[in-house]
Structure 1
């Protein structure tokens, strides 16, 4: 990774941002300009970094995947599902067969045309039972992909799914050639592979075969790895990089004070929940779960954990889902009621719990500390056990009685599939509610949007009243870039720098 010699620290950063700066350029205006190399700085990479289309793990992996490969559908900056390599995907009347019409004229980086055979081979690779990729968990319902002709395929499902198109809109489902080799990565994305050194940097060149007219504008894209936020921010201030992703929310005003720098601040549906195992004492008693929820001062959490850069949540995820149960009363801190619920549950003198936390996402450890302070007033005595991220996601992951997790923006049914059903791969609360399960089963098979949204709202009401998550807030996503960088827009997905869509970025003015 980069960063040696550039760790000025927050104190030096404050000094660096104060006063006038030479070489300030105005924001680019006029039509987009072609050419140049965008240098992007990110933290989170390492020696295990990969160019594999279907196993993105950390932030730098995701940035590479988004620019090298493309799925059939994708979520735009407004979190709306949009066509990408498929112009349309339509369900049968029973929602068991989804037919995808492929975009014509699309070529891979090596000039070969995209065909239905490539799509079928891609999903066979992802769902290989001997080597399943990261997107396989969400494709458990998929039976087979049948090639209809050169430009259409059928996704045949084991059971009905009205939201299967939502499942396909994931960056980890990029279409690759039938003979794909991650050592020589070929996709249809706006940039093609040029060089790669894991944990250090990745260089990509403009894809001359790209199907979008005039895009990308850049000649080259370089993604640089940094050890920590200090090194990352100082690289931006010294103009070693043009843009950086995921800056600490507490430093937004500090960095924004430099007239050369612009801040990209986006509301998202990303969340860092507290997770309570509903099958283990004391959280197998819903009165305890509700008491813990009522102990939280959500506004204070947003201010102290996110420096005010976030939105209060109501113990529900999927805030942008059309079926989101927005009419439920906003839960607020109620210490007397929390104490009474604990007493009713057999804890009149309060309760002692261990909260496992780790730096799994910016704000996670801070949220644990603030919760411990707030909950003390309700007689909830929290002993924080801090571990590193490796241990947190190790053999005890999904087994902690009381812990945390992190999720990017998702709609309700895909999130439920991932984390809130008995057989979900990330069911950290061990939630298995018969009435909830029936509603989800029915919603998944319901084609009518209004009817499905009503079922989702009913399911969310059950979670609101009995669930194992404390969802206290949605964090903003903040990035920073030199003012000569153009084309970046706020993005609700939670992914940095416009969802890493560098195809529409261009450079103007003086560096």
Structure 2
């Protein structure tokens, strides 16, 4: 016991030294020789991939969340999930669903004092498709005319972007795309200043990151923390917080620091949340329901998953109720669809189809009466690795042997993008609240390899294309049909659960906005 106690004391001392060096303790509120800087908010979560703030080069929340305090897209969703103009005067207008007219707010300044103009928007959109950028998010907006040609090196600028004057511009699409305005609200579409971004070169997002947002970058330490100060000239509601810190921190350490009063907001891992539902911090616990899906993707290029009966059998092998109630301790909802609730096309059907005998019957009909062997790769230490173990145990009742391989993040991403993972666990938080974001993204034949589904089906491809192009009031019937094909008839995946996030928020702090996986501080206040 004494040995363990000494180890514990040594660990605590080590943490204190580390956290003091990072500026987490309350003494950091005084700044670097600047005296009292006023109201400071400190937020910690797990951001292991926070290598940069350049959202054009990353797909992860680790980069997008800290960056969205600094830079902004043209539009945003409000707390009622309604689209609103952010950098534009009004929502873009279109007469044909192809050409959109946009007008910027006048007088909006970047943090370096230069004014936002149409030329900055043009530069940003061209940068998105410039092959040199190596943007991982072009699929979000590849319906803009000329985007694919730029990516292929056949054009140097977008044919579909036209500057009219300093504040007015037009965006032309190659075909109608119903949720295009939602695309303009994505954080991955945030607007960069042409002059500052070009001058920074490959240091953009690391040493230099300038935007129009409520906070200005002061210091960025990759994989460690982002420190910002309020934008005194913000074009929106005046910012009340003087300094904002976003830390990448071990979940146990962040909880300890929150309880010690050194952090104002922390994300709480699902497996750690139970005590906080009843202890002295229960009134500080915030639950956020997400438009998100955790699912088991099925790689149709790898036998026996090329057989629809095998894929249908897998839909009966997982006890989602037990997964959510026993393993996740009720922190989630069993999923009945790849499309989350509150999004067009979400069905009314029973989520849990657990029936090992039915699964074995379908496997036998496919010629696998003795069962099958499957294989998955997961990132070591990730929650998906724990989920995979639960699935492995549950599948045994259906004569399925699931082998789990633990790898590092880089290896997993490379394998998944190459289409080489047989049963990847898909974790997806919405980019836009639209069924296209949960169907076309993973199952269009042109891009399905990236998520190791390798789905290539003309029938569902045609429905996805149709759903994108129809007027809004005609789309739902298409997605109802598409969803049933993907989830039931052809079984492209097995939906597992819709996740929730938990945070501990100091009672001194108000006005934090939780938008699915994003946390926004533009309207945050802190009591003395």
Change (3 A) 1:401 1:99: same
Superposed, 1:84-163 pairs within 5 Å as 84-90=86-92, 92-143=94-145, 144-163=160-179
What is the rounded CA distance, in whole Å, between the counterparts of 1:217 and 1:464 in structure 2? 47
Corresponding residue of 1:327: 348
Corresponding residue of 1:220: 243
Return the TM-score normalized by structure 2.
0.83
- 1:407 is paired with a residue whose SS is strand
Instruction: Note if 1:173 corresponds to 2:189.
Output: yes
What is the rounded CA distance, in whole Å, between the counterparts of 1:260 and 1:300 in structure 2? 25
What is the rounded CA distance, in whole Å, between the counterparts of 1:360 and 1:83 in structure 2? 40
Superposed, 1:224-239 pairs within 5 Å as 224-226=247-249, 228-239=250-261
What is the rounded CA distance, in whole Å, between the counterparts of 1:7 and 1:478 in structure 2? 28
> What's the CA shift string for 1:152-197, capped at 9, x where partnerless?
2211122221221122221111111121332332110000111222
Corresponding residue of 1:193: 217
Per-residue deviation, 1:133: 2.0
Superposed, 1:17-96 pairs within 5 Å as 35-45=38-48, 49-90=51-92, 92-96=94-98
Instruction: Note if 1:346 corresponds to 2:367.
Output: yes
Q: Which has the higher contact order (CA 8 A, sep 6+)?
A: 1
Unaligned runs of 5+ in 1: 10-33
Structure number with the higher helix fraction is: 2
What is the rounded CA distance, in whole Å, between the counterparts of 1:78 and 1:278 in structure 2? 39
Per-residue deviation, 1:332: 1.8
Corresponding residue of 1:20: none
Answer with 398-407 or 325-334: which moved more: 325-334
Corresponding residue of 2:377: 356
- 1:405 is paired with a residue whose SS is strand
> What's the CA shift string for 1:38-66, capped at 9, x where partnerless?
011122236x6213253345444222211
Superposed, 1:455-494 pairs within 5 Å as 455-465=478-488, 466-491=490-515, 493=516
Tell me, yes or no, if the aligned pair for 1:317 and 1:471 is still in contact at 8 Å. no
- 1:406 is paired with a residue whose SS is strand
Instruction: Note if 1:384 corresponds to 2:404.
Output: yes
- 1:45 is paired with a residue whose SS is coil
The partner residue of 1:421 within 409, 424, 444 is 444
What is the rounded CA distance, in whole Å, between the counterparts of 1:134 and 1:344 in structure 2? 41
- For the aligned residue pairs, the C-alpha RMSD in angstroms reads 2.5
Instruction: Note if 1:204 corresponds to 2:228.
Output: yes
Per-residue deviation, 1:104: 3.1
Return the TM-score normalized by structure 1.
0.86
> What's the CA shift string for 1:428-472, capped at 9, x where partnerless?
21112211111111121112x221121111111111221321111
The partner residue of 1:291 within 313, 331, 335 is 313
Tell me, yes or no, if the aligned pair for 1:45 and 1:61 is still in contact at 8 Å. no
> What's the CA shift string for 1:11-36, capped at 9, x where partnerless?
xxxxxxxxxxxxxxxxxxxxxxx950
Query: How many residue pairs end up in the alignment?
Result: 470
Answer with 389-398 or 152-161: which moved more: 389-398
Unaligned runs of 5+ in 2: 1-9, 16-36, 146-159, 198-203
Tell me, yes or no, if the aligned pair for 2:53 and 2:64 is still in contact at 8 Å. no
Per-residue deviation, 1:289: 0.8
- 1:271 is paired with a residue whose SS is strand
Corresponding residue of 1:258: 280
Corresponding residue of 1:394: 414
Tell me, yes or no, if the aligned pair for 2:320 and 2:351 is still in contact at 8 Å. no
What is the rounded CA distance, in whole Å, between the counterparts of 2:352 and 2:326 in structure 1? 19
What is the rounded CA distance, in whole Å, between the counterparts of 1:5 and 1:62 in structure 2? 32
What is the rounded CA distance, in whole Å, between the counterparts of 2:453 and 2:280 in structure 1? 44
The partner residue of 2:519 within 484, 500, 503 is 500
Corresponding residue of 1:302: 324
Change (3 A) 1:132 1:89: farther
Tell me, yes or no, if the aligned pair for 1:109 and 1:186 is still in contact at 8 Å. yes
Tell me, yes or no, if the aligned pair for 2:297 and 2:492 is still in contact at 8 Å. yes
Corresponding residue of 1:28: none
Per-residue deviation, 1:359: 4.4
Tell me, yes or no, if the aligned pair for 1:45 and 1:225 is still in contact at 8 Å. yes
Tell me, yes or no, if the aligned pair for 1:7 and 1:231 is still in contact at 8 Å. no
Per-residue deviation, 1:261: 6.8
What is the rounded CA distance, in whole Å, between the counterparts of 1:8 and 1:300 in structure 2? 39
What is the rounded CA distance, in whole Å, between the counterparts of 1:109 and 1:54 in structure 2? 20
